């Protein structure tokens, strides 16, 4: 019975009162907005308290506020909504928390471009005014993203929507920063970082793309400082190989492997840096690879991460020759002010002139580029804020290792573990204006560094008032890492935090398992004491029909809004859901979307048929348990549905959403529509008991199928379900729910299984299908009924009962049935369905005289083709001069035509014997 709940009647929901007025085709644009509004305004997206069941909670991966949603968001939204709607129908207390990410670098870059178009530089208007402009952008695009999620059918609780720069989340960010600082896990220091000259900010290792790029490996000779007593003209050299000649100007050592016998006697000597004349030591270090170049490497601690570490071990000075603007510094001597790549070219030319170039080889380098701007990264030494990661990484590793968290698919366990086991400290400071400003103040009076959750106006050490807050902001992923608990009110002890943490599932793309997922696990365990979710589900990327990644430069980006407008939201959702498997990329193919648009129409048309043909039959919409099947087809469709319910429920629980959707599609289209609905057309013309039973099964299986399908295709299923109950059960108090979105999920009932019915009806299907195929093969006119002889063996009784069905669906005369036959009837086509024999008299299927005439013409044409091909291949001039692939193609044609002639002649001989 329907629970007492407040519902809002929003016209026009089910405004059609005459079943014959139902539209002939499904019209998604007339349906989607009204149902979403109905669901939202009636509070169906809010969690419905159920103390007897564990809450099911998902935190939506917050999209960046940098523009419109794309198909990546589409598959995320669809996958999560499938889980949410499924668990809501199970009766779980279901919460889906929506929100958006402030996306520091990305959003600042977009707004800066807008200002540039207006002829404005952010430095002209200042930080405060610039941040205000960004907020204007955010307010505009947050609303747009929210509306796009609604269009996708996302049934999230909008009353709990969050933004990573909300007051509450900002409070959480400061709390985490201060606590980690107090624990010694956040520190400020000079280290080598990834610097983007375009973003003018440090970025983390994860924000760098390494692109295999053709380059040059330049071998350079460094003169050695002469030994005491060595003749001045007896110059010795040591050669190194480098892909970055411009950094030679910043070299402070040459390093060799201590086990490399070639350089054993050179360790401790001094070399002279070309061009600048700096004397540098030759040191031994385990980091040097024997096989690279000459086995000796230049060491530039200010411009290479490995060299930086070598520099620390050997106490080497750092000479920065490339600035934050990617131009050469004063330390670069004659190249000061030049672009780094211009300086490279000029420096190599000077080295060649001095005879110091040994050789230059072609070489491929993994060139580091900014993920955001695609600018070539410059490793630079800078004072930044860092998080010590290993103390946080170890518990996160153990959470997966010991089963607290399950990753789907399991193969990503290794990816996750490998990264955490080799993790580096995380540079969290960014030289931006948009984002969470680092909660650190510096006292100009006494030099005190103050880290505080609250804004500081007075120095606690000297009471001075000359304080400066750190200019940098935190990496966007710092606040995102807190998402599963900060969105529930942490650090305050809220009812939501108590009830809904930890989440059930974190669903996202496999491409951000490091950026976001692992960091959420680390912070969740550290600050909440347990993992933030029990399952990590990773979907793949959406690619174009050719399997290529979508990008604006390739002009292959597909706008989900355009697809939804053209084909309907359900068609897009079902395509995204059923075209992929966990963790694998998918190709978005137009034909699939069109096919799923057709599936939505199939649902509508089948439902319209059921409503129109049963509206005058009483009985409402029974449950499966209330049904009283009378025929083999009745028992078969119920058996098939029970197995479908069991399978789909299991698949969803195992996160195999694609296969679950495909099985529902196959059942509804084939079993229900193509078979049972066709059979029902006959059964509905029977006696009143037959009509009642058939109508009940049609309605019940339609009702339950719509429930299974609802998480995948929410709009068409809600529209049909409402009409089904409106026309079949006018008493709303008898409805199972006020809306399909909260209707109970179908429950598998083993007691309702009937394996014998499935075996028998499957045999009938095979017989009908074989006869249909034979009709097509023989080109029998659709309206023509043909004779059929069936030798049924032990199934004679069953086939006797199904004779009328075979007659209807296979377009036969009344089948002639036998338990067995001593010999095959002459002049018939023989078919076999398991142990059942089928014989179709040929004279009853075709006009044999006309068919012989047609075959003679076709045989003559094939013989002519064969003669032409044989003539070609017998011509040695053709065989020797034509391209091999052309000759081979002719040989293949010869074989194919010979096979065709054999079949045609066999067929003619058979028919001639009949005639």
pLDDT above 70 coverage of the chain, percent:
97
pLDDT at 623: 94
- Euclidean distance between CA atoms 146 and 154, whole angstroms: 10
- Euclidean distance between CA atoms 316 and 638, whole angstroms: 80
| Residue 209: half-sphere exposure toward Cβ, Cα within 13 Å | 12
At 554, the pLDDT band (50, 70, 90 cuts) reads low
Asked if residues 141 and 65 have their Cβ atoms less than 8 Å apart, the reply is: yes
8-state DSSP, 243: S
| Residue 371: half-sphere exposure toward Cβ, Cα within 13 Å | 14
- For range 748-753, the mean pLDDT: 92
At 512, the pLDDT band (50, 70, 90 cuts) reads confident
Residue identified by tokens 């928390």 is 97
- Euclidean distance between CA atoms 569 and 757, whole angstroms: 38
Q: Is the pLDDT of residue 4 over 90?
A: no
8-state DSSP, 783: T
Give the H or E element holding residue 646.
helix 632-653
State the DSSP string of 526-553: HHHSS-SEEEEEEE--EE-TTSPBP-GG
R_g (Cα) of the chain, nearest Å: 37
Neighbours of 868 (CB within 10 A): 13
- Euclidean distance between CA atoms 666 and 680, whole angstroms: 19
Q: Could you tell me the sign of the dihedral formed by the alpha carbons of 599, 604, 607, 612, in that order?
A: negative
Instruction: At 445, list the tokens.
Output: 């009076």
- For range 182-201, the mean pLDDT: 92
Which one, of 715, 547, 837, 634, lies nearest residue 81 by Cα? 715
| Residue 786: half-sphere exposure toward Cβ, Cα within 13 Å | 29
State the DSSP string of 448-485: -EEE-SS---S-TTT----EEE-S-EE-HHHHHTTHHH
Tell me, rounded to whole angstroms, the distance of Cα 652 from its chain centroid.
16
My answer on whether omega of the bond before 502 falls inside 30° of 0, hence cis, is yes
Instruction: At 792, list the tokens.
Output: 């049924």
At 6, the pLDDT band (50, 70, 90 cuts) reads very low
pLDDT at 585: 86
Angle between helices 122-151 and 560-567 (to 10 degrees): 30
Which has more pLDDT, 228 or 249? 249
Please give the backbone phi and psi of residue 240, each rounded to the nearest 5 degrees, phi first. -130, 160
- Tens of pLDDT along 127-153? 999 999 999 999 988 988 999 999 999
- Tens of pLDDT along 98-117? 999 998 888 998 899 999 99
Q: Is the pLDDT of residue 88 over 90?
A: yes
At 513, the pLDDT band (50, 70, 90 cuts) reads confident
Pairing of strands 816-818, 789-791: parallel
Asked if residues 728 and 687 have their Cβ atoms less than 8 Å apart, the reply is: no
Asked if residues 207 and 194 have their Cβ atoms less than 8 Å apart, the reply is: yes
pLDDT at 2: 34
Comparing 290-294, 318-322, 460-464, 554-558, the range with the smallest average pLDDT is 554-558
User: Residue 895 to residues 271, 318, 508, 514, 867: CA-CA distances in angstroms?
Assistant: 76, 76, 53, 57, 12
pLDDT at 3: 37
At 1, the pLDDT band (50, 70, 90 cuts) reads very low
- Euclidean distance between CA atoms 346 and 270, whole angstroms: 26
Output b/e per residue, 542-554; b: 16+ Cβ within 10 A.
bbbeeeeebeeee
Partner residues linked to 836 by β-bridges: 833
- For range 46-56, the mean pLDDT: 93
Comparing 191-195, 240-244, 433-437, the range with the smallest average pLDDT is 191-195
At 551, the pLDDT band (50, 70, 90 cuts) reads low
- Euclidean distance between CA atoms 704 and 698, whole angstroms: 10
Instruction: At 55, list the tokens.
Output: 């809450």
At 43, the pLDDT band (50, 70, 90 cuts) reads very high
Asked if residues 760 and 798 have their Cβ atoms less than 8 Å apart, the reply is: yes
Neighbours of 219 (CB within 10 A): 16
Residue identified by tokens 């984002």 is 435
Residue identified by tokens 């993994």 is 366
Neighbours of 424 (CB within 10 A): 12
Asked if residues 386 and 191 have their Cβ atoms less than 8 Å apart, the reply is: yes
Please give the backbone phi and psi of residue 267, each rounded to the nearest 5 degrees, phi first. -60, 130
The sheet with strand 503-509 has its strands ordered as 94-97, 56-59, 503-509, 533-539, 406-408
pLDDT at 537: 94
Comparing 196-210, 475-489, 732-746, the range with the smallest average pLDDT is 196-210
Which one, of 681, 673, 663, lies nearest residue 808 by Cα? 681
- For range 871-888, the mean pLDDT: 89
- Euclidean distance between CA atoms 715 and 71, whole angstroms: 19
- Euclidean distance between CA atoms 411 and 609, whole angstroms: 46
Q: Is the pLDDT of residue 8 over 70?
A: no
At 837, the pLDDT band (50, 70, 90 cuts) reads very high
**pTM metric for this prediction:** 0.86
At 818, the pLDDT band (50, 70, 90 cuts) reads very high
Q: Is the pLDDT of residue 915 over 70?
A: no
- Tens of pLDDT along 275-324? 999 999 999 999 999 889 999 999 999 999 999 999 999 999 999 999 99
Output b/e per residue, 146-172; b: 16+ Cβ within 10 A.
bebbbbbbbbbbbebbbbbbbebbbbb
pLDDT at 16: 73
Asked if residues 360 and 217 have their Cβ atoms less than 8 Å apart, the reply is: yes
Contacts of 598 (CB under 8 A, 6+ apart): none
Q: Is the pLDDT of residue 887 over 70?
A: yes
Instruction: At 305, list the tokens.
Output: 């991460």
Neighbours of 528 (CB within 10 A): 17
Asked if residues 76 and 148 have their Cβ atoms less than 8 Å apart, the reply is: no
State the chain's mean pLDDT as an integer.
Answer: 91
Q: Is the pLDDT of residue 15 over 70?
A: no
């Amino acid at each position: 019975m329907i629970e007492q709940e407040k519902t809002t009647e929003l016209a026009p929901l089910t405004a059609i009162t005459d079943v014959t007025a139902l539209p002939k085709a499904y019209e998604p644009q007339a349906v989607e907005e009204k149902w979403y509004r109905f669901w939202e305004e009636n509070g169906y997206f809010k969690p419905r308290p159920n103390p007897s069941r564990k809450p099911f909670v998902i935190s939506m991966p917050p999209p960046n506020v940098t523009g419109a949603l794309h198909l990546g968001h589409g598959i995320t939204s669809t996958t999560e909504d499938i889980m949410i709607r499924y668990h809501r129908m199970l009766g779980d207390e279901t919460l889906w928390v929506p929100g958006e990410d402030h996306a520091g670098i990305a959003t600042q870059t977009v707004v800066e471009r807008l200002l540039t178009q207006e002829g404005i530089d952010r430095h002209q208007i200042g930080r405060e005014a610039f941040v205000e402009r960004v907020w204007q952008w955010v307010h505009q695009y947050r609303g747009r993203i929210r509306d796009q999620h609604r269009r996708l059918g996302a049934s999230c609780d909008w009353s709990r929507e969050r933004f990573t720069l909300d007051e509450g989340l900002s409070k959480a960010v400061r709390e985490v920063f201060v606590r980690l600082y107090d624990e010694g896990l956040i520190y400020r220091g000079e280290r080598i970082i990834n610097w983007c000259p375009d973003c003018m900010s440090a970025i983390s290792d994860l924000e760098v793309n390494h692109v295999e790029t053709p380059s040059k490996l330049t071998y350079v000779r460094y003169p050695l400082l002469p030994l005491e007593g060595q003749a001045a003209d007896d110059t010795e050299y040591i050669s190194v190989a480098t892909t970055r000649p411009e950094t030679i100007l910043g070299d402070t050592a040459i390093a060799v492997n201590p086990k490399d016998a070639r350089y054993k006697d050179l360790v401790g000597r001094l070399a002279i840096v070309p061009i600048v004349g700096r004397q540098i030591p030759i040191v031994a270090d385990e980091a040097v690879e024997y096989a690279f170049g000459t086995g000796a490497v230049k060491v530039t601690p200010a411009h290479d991460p490995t060299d930086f570490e070598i520099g620390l071990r050997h106490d080497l000075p750092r000479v920065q020759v490339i600035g934050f603007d990617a131009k050469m510094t004063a330390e670069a001597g004659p190249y000061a002010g030049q672009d780094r790549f211009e300086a490279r070219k000029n420096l190599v030319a000077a080295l060649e002139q001095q005879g110091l170039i040994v050789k230059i080889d072609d070489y491929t380098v993994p060139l580091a580029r900014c993920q955001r701007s695609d600018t070539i990264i410059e490793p630079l030494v800078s004072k930044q804020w860092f998080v010590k990661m290993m103390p946080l990484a170890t518990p996160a590793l153990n959470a997966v290792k010991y089963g607290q968290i399950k990753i789907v698919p399991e193969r990503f366990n290794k990816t996750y573990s490998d990264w955490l086991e080799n993790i580096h400290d995380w540079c969290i400071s960014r030289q931006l204006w948009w984002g969470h400003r680092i909660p650190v103040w510096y006292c100009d009076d006494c030099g005190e560094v103050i880290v505080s959750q609250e804004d500081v106006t007075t120095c606690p050490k000297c009471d001075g008032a000359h304080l400066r807050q750190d200019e940098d902001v935190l990496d966007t992923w710092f606040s995102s890492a807190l998402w599963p608990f900060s969105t529930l009110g942490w650090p305050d002890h809220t009812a939501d935090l108590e009830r809904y943490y930890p989440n059930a599932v974190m669903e996202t793309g496999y491409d951000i398992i490091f950026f976001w997922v692992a960091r959420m696990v680390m912070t969740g365990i550290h600050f909440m004491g347990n993992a933030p979710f029990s399952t990590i589900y990773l979907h793949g990327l959406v690619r174009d029909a050719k399997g290529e990644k979508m990008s604006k430069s390739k002009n292959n980006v597909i706008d989900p809004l355009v697809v939804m407008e053209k084909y309907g939201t359900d068609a897009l959702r079902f395509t995204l859901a059923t075209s992929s498997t966990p963790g694998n990329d998918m190709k978005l193919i137009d034909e699939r979307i069109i096919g799923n648009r057709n599936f939505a129409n199939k649902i509508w048309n089948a439902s319209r048929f059921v409503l129109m043909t049963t509206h005058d039959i009483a009985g409402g919409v029974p449950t499966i348990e209330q049904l009283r099947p009378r025929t083999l087809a009745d028992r078969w469709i119920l058996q098939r549905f029970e197995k479908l319910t069991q399978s789909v429920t299991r698949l969803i629980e195992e996160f195999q959403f694609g296969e679950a959707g495909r099985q529902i599609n196959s059942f509804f289209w084939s079993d229900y529509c193509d078979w049972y609905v066709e059979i029902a057309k006959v059964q509905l013309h029977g006696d009143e008991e037959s009509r009642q039973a058939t109508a009940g099964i049609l309605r019940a299986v339609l009702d339950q199928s719509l429930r299974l399908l609802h998480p995948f295709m929410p709009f068409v299923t809600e529209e049909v379900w409402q009409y089904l109950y409106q026309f079949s059960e006018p008493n709303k108090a008898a409805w199972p729910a006020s809306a399909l979105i909260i209707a109970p999920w179908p429950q598998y009932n083993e007691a309702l299984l009937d394996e014998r019915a499935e075996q028998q009806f499957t045999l009938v299907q095979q017989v009908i299908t074989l006869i249909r195929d034979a009709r097509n093969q023989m080109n029998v006119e659709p309206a023509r009924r043909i004779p059929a002889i069936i030798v049924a063996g032990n199934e004679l009784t069953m086939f006797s009962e199904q004779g009328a069905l075979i007659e209807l669906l296979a377009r036969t005369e009344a089948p002639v049935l036998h338990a067995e036959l001593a010999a095959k009837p002459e002049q018939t086509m023989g078919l076999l369905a398991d142990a059942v024999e089928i014989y179709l008299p040929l004279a009853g299927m075709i006009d044999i005289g006309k068919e012989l005439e047609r075959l003679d013409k076709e045989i003559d044409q094939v013989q002519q083709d064969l003669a032409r091909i044989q003539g070609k291949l017998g011509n040695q001039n053709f065989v020797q001069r034509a391209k091999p692939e052309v000759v081979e193609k002719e040989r293949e044609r010869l074989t194919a035509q010979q096979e065709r002639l054999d079949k045609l002649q066999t067929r003619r001989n058979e028919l001639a014997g009949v005639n």
